[in-house]
Structure 1
Amino acid sequence: MSFNLAIMLRESATATPGKDFLRFPSGAMTYAEVDERSGRVAVALRKRGLHPGDKVAVQLANVPEFVVAYFGILKAGLTMVPLNPLLKAGEIAYHLDDSDARMIIAHAAGAVEVSAALKELTGVHAVVVGDLDTGAWPEGTLAFPALLEPADDRDLFPGAADDTAVLLYTSGTTGRPKGAELSHFQLYMTCTLGSERFGAEPEDVALAVLPFFHVYGLSSILNASARHGRTVSVVPRFEVPAVLEAIQRDRVTIMAGVPTMYHALAYADTTGYDTSSLRIGSSGGAAIPEEVLRRFEDKYGIPVLEGYGLSESASTTTVNPGADNRKILSIGKPLWGVQLRIVDETDQPLPSGQVGEIVLRGHNITKGYYKRPRETAEAFRGGWFHTGDLGYVDADGFVFVVDRKKDLVIRGGFNVYPREVEELLYRHPAIGEAAVIGEPDERLGEEVVAVVSLKPGASAEPEEIVAWAKERIAAYKYPRRVRIVDELPKGATGKIAKLELRARLRG
């Protein structure tokens, strides 16, 4: 079956060509404009030797070029690899190499890190958004406008529904980040059904402060809005005044965010801002504290529906079924066509009310991990995708998450993989052993904490270790707190006992 996710943009552009698709503080772009410009990008990419299935990395914040590049990549039958702009050179190089990317589209502000990463690779070309300083980039680097020469994309083959549209990197419990392959059909179904469950309408204006490089912002905001012809009010970076200004300026009706955003807005001074256009909110990425939820709802007078999803599920898997039928602190019920089960340690189903691992299957679950058949088989054992999250289903079918089976730390909605940070810390000349855990944080949900022991005769101060790590890893990953101990607790096999470590720190 021939199908391409970008058909959502084309259909909305045909139905409402002059309607604003994207609104930025600096101006707006209509559906017709985004459709036309992304078509130019598609033709330009194919003319530069890229073929269906090739990977193009996009390392941009919420700027117009991200959206134009995204739909252009899809129209060309290529696969987009979204990357966080905060990644450092070594991390960028890893993602480009592991994904077999042939091109990276990045912002001029990232010249130092991206250029350093490209020196470690061959066959990866760069396209720069912003001022192109030829001295800072490899020879042959293009400026983004070079992809916008007039062209007609109507003769491009759209590809198949099961082709990989997005290769989204995610961290698990072992190894380095893995690329989850999400097809055109999977992403289409998720954004379509998620919007229907949420009760969104074409007249709604959705706030896009969640990063588009993250599955939540990409699928639940950008894709969902394109699918249903909605307007998106884009805020490039979360700052309370900027969010309040956007809500007032664009008459935003839908707020989508992670708990840290709701926390900041719940305690914000809204004097002088008109937020009366808001009618509903959604929260994901981590569990939202009840106190924050109620304070936000009381302040803004709207319900916030909590949902649940993963990179591997193309974002939404469950969501509460409307303000009148929700259960506070529940993640709701599965979307149409998605099956959810709670299982024990032997993968046997558990009855209502009993806590076990959440496993999933359905139209939205990843095709698998790119070039990782062993990890894919393990994750999909028994025909169900194992999330690593613990929860239960109540008698009414509502799902509740109670804990994470994985050691993953979710800081401000961003996933931080402890082993990756630990491996970095082991490179510090004074550190003998290291363990990274998450500690509860009222504002961020969790904070990254490193507990280390030093090598014999070595000395280091916590502040120095924090500064050292900050220079070598993305800003959301480095530990803000470092605790130095004589010895880390270990189990019988010699493995660091993180459960005991957490208990000690709480005590």
Structure 2
Amino acid sequence: MNLVEPLLRYAVQQPGKVALSDGEEIRTYSALVQRMKQIAQGLQQNGLTQDKIAILSTNRIEFVEVFLGAIYAGCVPIPLDPKWSMSEVNAIVQQCQPKMIFTETRFVKNLILQDTEIKLLTFSAAEAGSYDDWLHAFMPEAEMDDTNELLFIGFTSGTTGTPKGYMRTHLSWIKSFEATSEAFQLDNMEHIIAPGPLVHSLSLFALMQSLTSGATFHMVQHFNAKEVLELCRQIPDAILFVVPTMIESMMQETIPGQTHIQALISSGGKWSEASKQRSKEVFGVAKIYEYYGSSEASYISYLDVHDEYKANSVGKPFSGVQISIRDEHFREVPTGIVGQLYIRSGMMFIGYHQLPEETSAVFRDGWLILGDYMYMDDDGYLYMAGRSKNMMVTGGLNVFPEEVESVLQQIPEIQEVMVLGVPDAYWGEQVTALVKWNSQQHLSIEEIKNYCRQYLASYKSPKQLITVDEFIYTSSGKLARQAMKDYVKRVMV
């Protein structure tokens, strides 16, 4: 089974329909499939079968062509993030050992190729040995290789540490595409926009969902709220796959009721209740969904934002996703009790690339352990207590920063907040809130404590506040917790 099979059908059934558009260039389904076969022919004639092909690139049509061509040839594409440091890029190249690397000229300086047999091609027509020169030597005659179950190796965005390579299969994404159609009840899937980097799973997934559905995928080079809103004005029935920070930016740039979007699908970070409520006013009749998932698990649960009665929930499980919430002895806990989340579905990844110990640590008897602590209510809705990797221990008691953040986010004076534990001789860790304020009016720590007492045990309330002008984000739009922790260490020295 090969994920690109539907593209072959669309090239025959709707050859002139636009598959990709970046605002300047387009690729019809016929042209895209021809280019895909041409790239596959080049790979196969170079003796590459089930080999790894790295792509170090921003959002561009050539990225998509190479990604599809590698899959069609039976090879394994590996998207590399241009925003990584030079050491991160080269460590991952060294680990993965790709036979070819496709990149942009400006990123070549970040590559230190110890293996001289790795072929390097740049997306520049003006250079010798460029992608275009290489491609024109081959005819689009390749036969599809569907013997490799591995679809691609992606890398986590590294919110708390070094990126890890997660391995996804063709079948896991095919199952995920089916879940999209079943859960989100979209009127049609004709135009899709995912304005984040294609090297990250949310946008890459949306791209492939679009192409395997016969839709048009509108590429955005870099996220800009005004530009995305203008694109939505031109394409009033679009479906957007976005992260909460993008939605916030878009809401600041548009007039309520003036943006015509079919659906907003949000993931990649917790979306505050206040922002969700505002989104319903701003985007009018658009369908608005939030889903909880990960690069490793794909879809887990989802929530219709127009369904108001489950505030702070991450929704109900997708069809086909089994949920088990367990204590430290791996026993299931009763409804309403917090425990660690285990999931099982046909959408899960198969492991971390060349990290057998890390892979073994997240699987138990076929269940995937996400490191998230949850509870489920009587109606089957899930609620996030926190992530184990973020958990603080203060006075011998466990505190999840996400729980405290969800309370602080309700305070009107707070625009954004992150909670972390700062080392303390007495408490072990002192609960500390980093706050970006909405205006010049700042609340005192006592006012914050008084508010929190209504919703939290006293030991969970912040003991100190640190004002920040801006937060640091990963390139996928998530809050970069480790970078913010490092910042706190510097300012508190």
TM-score range, shorter chain: 0.7 to 0.9
In the alignment, is the contact (CA less than 8 A) between 1:248 and 1:275 conserved in 2? yes
Compared with structure 1, are the counterparts of its residues 287 and 25 closer, same or farther at alpha carbon in structure 2 (3 Å cutoff)?
A: same
Aligned to 2:203: 217
Aligned to 2:34: 36
Aligned to 1:306: 290
TM-score of the pair, normalised by structure 1 = 0.74
> How far did residue 203 of structure 1 move?
4.4
In the alignment, is the contact (CA less than 8 A) between 2:125 and 2:133 conserved in 1? no
Pair 1:104-2:105 in alignment: no
- Cα deviation, 1:42-73, whole Å, max 9, x if unaligned, reads 11111123122x11111222211111111101
Read off the aligned partner of 1:305 and give its amino acid letter: Y
Aligned to 2:134: 146
Q: Supply the distance in 1 between the matched residues of 2:433 and 2:88 (Cα, whole angstroms).
A: 21
Aligned to 2:378: 395
Secondary structure of residue in 1 paired with 2:95: helix
Q: Supply the distance in 2 between the matched residues of 1:150 and 1:295 (Cα, whole angstroms).
A: 53
- Cα deviation, 1:223-272, whole Å, max 9, x if unaligned, reads 2112221222221111112111211223342122111001111111459x
In the alignment, is the contact (CA less than 8 A) between 2:42 and 2:138 conserved in 1? no
> How far did residue 127 of structure 1 move?
1.4
Compared with structure 1, are the counterparts of its residues 194 and 372 closer, same or farther at alpha carbon in structure 2 (3 Å cutoff)?
A: same
Q: Supply the distance in 2 between the matched residues of 1:265 and 1:78 (Cα, whole angstroms).
A: 38
In the alignment, is the contact (CA less than 8 A) between 1:321 and 1:333 conserved in 2? no
Q: Supply the distance in 2 between the matched residues of 1:438 and 1:33 (Cα, whole angstroms).
A: 52
Q: Supply the distance in 1 between the matched residues of 2:141 and 2:314 (Cα, whole angstroms).
A: 41
In the alignment, is the contact (CA less than 8 A) between 2:290 and 2:304 conserved in 1? no
Q: 156, 159, 162: which one pairs with 2:147? A: 159
Q: 118, 123, 127: which one pairs with 1:124? A: 118
Q: 18, 21, 43: which one pairs with 2:19? A: 21
- Cα deviation, 1:194-249, whole Å, max 9, x if unaligned, reads 23311235443111202221111111x11211222122222111111211121122
TM-score of the pair, normalised by structure 2 = 0.76
Pair 1:259-2:244 in alignment: yes
Secondary structure of residue in 2 paired with 1:267: helix
Aligned to 1:502: none
> How far did residue 172 of structure 1 move?
7.9
Pair 1:196-2:182 in alignment: yes
Aligned to 1:449: none
Pair 1:291-2:274 in alignment: yes
Q: Supply the distance in 1 between the matched residues of 2:159 and 2:25 (Cα, whole angstroms).
A: 43
Aligned to 1:370: 353
- Cα deviation, 1:433-472, whole Å, max 9, x if unaligned, reads xxxx9956689xxxxxxxxxxxxxxxxxxxxxxxxxx9xx
Pair 1:247-2:237 in alignment: no
Aligned to 1:354: 337
Pair 1:50-2:48 in alignment: yes
Aligned to 2:319: 336
- Cα deviation, 1:389-443, whole Å, max 9, x if unaligned, reads 1222221112222322124999xxxxxxx9xxxxxxxxxxxxxxxxxx9956689
Compared with structure 1, are the counterparts of its residues 87 and 257 closer, same or farther at alpha carbon in structure 2 (3 Å cutoff)?
A: same
Aligned to 2:58: 61
Q: Supply the distance in 1 between the matched residues of 2:63 and 2:187 (Cα, whole angstroms).
A: 24
Aligned to 1:384: 367
Aligned to 2:214: 229
> How far did residue 356 of structure 1 move?
1.6
Q: Pick which of 370-379 and 169-178 moved more.
A: 169-178
Read off the aligned partner of 2:122 and give its amino acid letter: V
Q: Supply the distance in 2 between the matched residues of 1:109 and 1:7 (Cα, whole angstroms).
A: 34
Identical aligned residues as a percent: 27
In the alignment, is the contact (CA less than 8 A) between 1:233 and 1:250 conserved in 2? no
Q: Supply the distance in 2 between the matched residues of 1:4 and 1:438 (Cα, whole angstroms).
A: 48
In the alignment, is the contact (CA less than 8 A) between 1:353 and 1:392 conserved in 2? yes
